[in-house]
Structure 1
Amino acid sequence: MPNQEKEKPAATVTATEAVAPPPPSPPPPKPAPASEDSGTQYFFGEPLVGFDPSEITGSLIVIEGMDGSGRSTQIMLLQEWLESEGFAVQTSGLRRSNLVGRDIDELLAKNAVTRLTLALMYATDFFDQVEHRILPALRSGTMVLADRYIFTLIGRGVVRGINRDYMSGLYAMALRPHLTFWLNVRPETAFGREFRKAQAISYWEAGRDMSLSHDLYWSFIRYQTMIKREFEVMAKKHNFIELDGEASVPAVNKLLRQRIAEQLGIRSTKYTPSSALSHLWR
């Protein structure tokens, strides 16, 4: 169902079958050396050419989590809350670029694309959005809410056998978010939510391309467990703010608002959804 150093401890706010190895990946890209003055501290590796950190007046807030973790619901609620507080809000997500978004959708629908090709197309989709959606918004003082970010894309590539350094190198020029939240749920919970929502589970969110199981349920559970383990690794490295995605929507949203309010200097975190979004408040 398509619509995706020194280690620091992950911040916590709240109360297999083997996969056949894919063809060898190309050697990982090597980040070019750059000084901090050129903006490297704003990126995971080398900075974008011509980047001026003084131009960034908005904030990039990322919501990560597996399929069925509740990300999209929280993005909609947070957008309404922030706009009610007077902020301009832009959203981003996977497969939303004008350049290749539809092309990726078509390839996913055919279930016929190699792992590396798909990873490279997602990277193209991501950086097209960075250039034409995310950076322009941040330069104008807009708050950007990202429904997934490079962490999902790296994790998906790694569990499919693509070299971890290669995947990280692809996204070396990605902006570091101001806040990264991880909605952590059990794969069993995620399966129930996804199935209730669409009465189906997509080929890709169940990892069927990886031949993990002939059974749809177990394929989903095994694949999403692998993704969850990748999030656990990245949470420590990139200091995710981990939230209990098993909690109710209002409870998770309250915690999100509290942390975002601290980041943006918002005094009150009171919020009641409009009638258009009240069906999500449960």
Structure 2
Amino acid sequence: MAGRGRRARCPRTVELPGKAGKGRGATIAGVCALTQRAGRTRRSGSVSTSAAGVADRLQFPVAAPRAHGEPGHLVVLEGVDRSGRSTHARLLEEWLRHAGHGVIRTSFVTSRLAAPRIRDVRRQADPDPFETFLLYAADLTERIEQVIMPSLRAGLVVLVDRYAYTPIARAAARGVDLVWLESVLAFAPPPDLVCFLDVAPADALQRHREIAEARLDADGLDAYREFQEGVYRVFDEAARRWGFTRVPATADIGSTHAALDRVVGDLLDGGGADAAHRRLPASLRGRR
């Protein structure tokens, strides 16, 4: 994993596993160029990350608190689609601010450079998993350079709605080699805590079934469900090695938020925020 002292950067060349690289040179070069542009357009001030060595690149665990070398805390929420990541990231931000912590929240696919291309790729019927993954890597690089590392250096709590683990799990679910995926994103600073919102894909989909059915036909819905089940399997099998903290997310929003508040509070100050800080608005009580 990336350590302290030098800026993270995309490798000049990315070797794809097996025969996957044939005919993709221009795509990969373009994606790596995006990550370099993200670095050049970062806000003023040096960014304290570095490329990891070969030995580190084959490991992708959550490290000991503040192993990224900065005074802030890096807290990540992961899970399958519709597991409640964005909702709970927003609620955690609100509650931590109320408890007196300096907080910043960053979300998946918010890069000014990579996000438009990612949206285009998502509209394709059968997107290339390597291109998609490398675009996600470009998005992550910009977020690390411009938001995550400067905020950690400032001593803030950085709440990340999906980090390096989501693009790895999505590509692995489409058959890309897991070790290779981990090695490409090994430049990412190690989180202090990763909360895995543990809910079965079928249950998560049921929460928003009407929306999904409006967007997809029966075949598309089946394919989407199968893909999310593959993503869940990757998370489930790698959770112990990656050091995830499992948070059951099948209950109502209030119960899940209270569980998240406890584990995040334990990281920050040895205990959850005051019970008053955990009270949900009436509109959210009992919601799933």
Would you say same fold, with TM above 0.5? yes
Secondary structure of 1:260's aligned partner: helix
Structure 2: distance between partners of 1:88 and 1:233: 34
Using structure 2 for the length normalisation, give the TM-score: 0.72
Secondary structure of 1:280's aligned partner: coil
1:231 is matched with 235
Measured against aligned partners, the alpha-carbon deviations of 1:72-121 in whole angstroms (never above 9, x if no partner) come to: 11111100000111122111222111221122113323446422111111
Is contact 2:68-2:189 (8 Å) kept?
Answer: no
Secondary structure of 1:279's aligned partner: coil
Measured against aligned partners, the alpha-carbon deviations of 1:212-255 in whole angstroms (never above 9, x if no partner) come to: xx623432332221111101122110121111110111111111
Q: Provide structure 1 residue ranges, at least 5 long, that are not aligned to the other structure.
A: 1-21, 35-39, 46-51, 209-213
**What is the 5 A alignment of 1:144-163?**
144-163=158-177
* Range with greater deviation from structure 2 (88-97 or 58-67): 88-97
2:93 is matched with 79
How much is the aligned-residue C-alpha RMSD, in angstroms? 3.0
2:47 is matched with none
Is contact 1:25-1:162 (8 Å) kept?
Answer: no
1:185 is matched with 199
Q: 1:199 to 1:165 in 2, by over 3 A?
A: closer
2:182 is matched with 168
Is contact 2:261-2:278 (8 Å) kept?
Answer: no
Measured against aligned partners, the alpha-carbon deviations of 1:186-226 in whole angstroms (never above 9, x if no partner) come to: 22211111324x354767xxxx9xxxxx6234323322211
1:19 is matched with none
Is contact 2:77-2:162 (8 Å) kept?
Answer: yes
The code of the aligned residue for 1:253 comes to: H
Taking every aligned residue pair, what percent have the same amino acid on both sides?
27
2:102 is matched with 88
Structure 2: distance between partners of 1:236 and 1:274: 31
1:32 is matched with 53
Which among 192, 212, 219 is matched to residue 215 of structure 1?
219
Structure 1: distance between partners of 2:251 and 2:156: 29
Is contact 2:172-2:178 (8 Å) kept?
Answer: yes
Using structure 1 for the length normalisation, give the TM-score: 0.74
Structure 1: distance between partners of 2:229 and 2:262: 29
The code of the aligned residue for 2:274 comes to: T
Q: 1:247 to 1:98 in 2, by over 3 A?
A: same
Structure 2: distance between partners of 1:240 and 1:189: 21
Q: 1:243 to 1:202 in 2, by over 3 A?
A: farther
Structure 1: distance between partners of 2:21 and 2:146: 28
Q: 1:92 to 1:215 in 2, by over 3 A?
A: same
The code of the aligned residue for 1:191 comes to: L
Structure 2: distance between partners of 1:94 and 1:116: 18
- Count, aligned residues: 234
1:48 is matched with none
Structure 2: distance between partners of 1:258 and 1:272: 10
Measured against aligned partners, the alpha-carbon deviations of 1:4-24 in whole angstroms (never above 9, x if no partner) come to: xxxxxxxxxxxxxxxxxx983
Q: 1:158 to 1:202 in 2, by over 3 A?
A: farther
Secondary structure of 1:95's aligned partner: coil
The code of the aligned residue for 1:79 comes to: E
